[in-house]
Structure 1
Amino acid sequence: MDNAGIEEMFQGLGPVTVKRMFGGKGIYHLGRIIALEVRDEMLLKADETSAPEFAAAGATQWTYEGRKGKPVKMPYWSIPDEAYDDPDLMAKWVRLAYEASLRADR
């Protein structure tokens, strides 16, 4: 996704900064990372508070194969499909990602 598309996706939250990282992109709001684009998939930050809501909406947690073939779960989740067609719903999910980034500093 190009940067203009990413900015549009996050417009319900406010301005974002996009930085290249890990062969993908990191998306930041007010200096805090809130999302990653990895292999053309947008993943939103979640934590123990918001992850159950992502799971209930059918989102999947990002995992990668770690040492000895064990899966490593990362604090990033896919965006529920219906949010792509509904700007208000997308705004809800990106706000949850920002809130998770705020809690990470506590």
Structure 2
Amino acid sequence: MAVSSDYLDFVLEQLAPLGVLTSRKMFGGVGLYANGLFFALIDDDVLYLKGDESLKADFEAAGSRPFQPFGMDKPMAYWNAPVEAMDDGDLLVGWARRSVEVAAARKTR
């Protein structure tokens, strides 16, 4: 569950257009916040983005898998960033913006 500093730096650089980004170590991984909203996490140098039922089909169509730290029967509401997005900063920011929107909607509930 380690996160290398190089990978964290890369992700933060790619996601800089989102605004004020902060990261916090948590449970062996790293939580990512955009303007104070927890929208992503990194575990084993894999970026996972917050999702909900409205994004599930899009993540699945992009080949993403849910974050399952507790086993196959207990997925969390985070999906690995699509592989092609990791090679395209604009695409990654687009996915991340959608995750920030999910985080914002959950905060207002």
Q: TM-score scaled by structure 2?
A: 0.85
Identity of aligned residues (%): 36
Unpaired runs of at least 5, structure 2: none
Give the RMSD, CA atoms, in angstroms. Answer: 1.6
Aligned partners of 2:60, 2:78: CA distance in 1, in Å? 11
Letter in 2 for 1:91: V
Aligned partners of 1:85, 1:41: CA distance in 2, in Å? 13
* Structure with more strand by fraction: 1
Alignment length (residue pairs): 103
Is the Cα–Cα contact under 8 Å of residues 66 and 78 in structure 2 kept in the other structure?
Answer: yes
* Structure with more helix by fraction: 2
1:64 aligns with 2:69: yes
Per-residue Cα deviation, 1:60-80 (whole angstroms, up to 9, x for no partner): 1111335xxx62110000011
Letter in 1 for 2:100: Y
- Which of residues 26, 37, 41 in structure 2 aligns to 1:36? 41
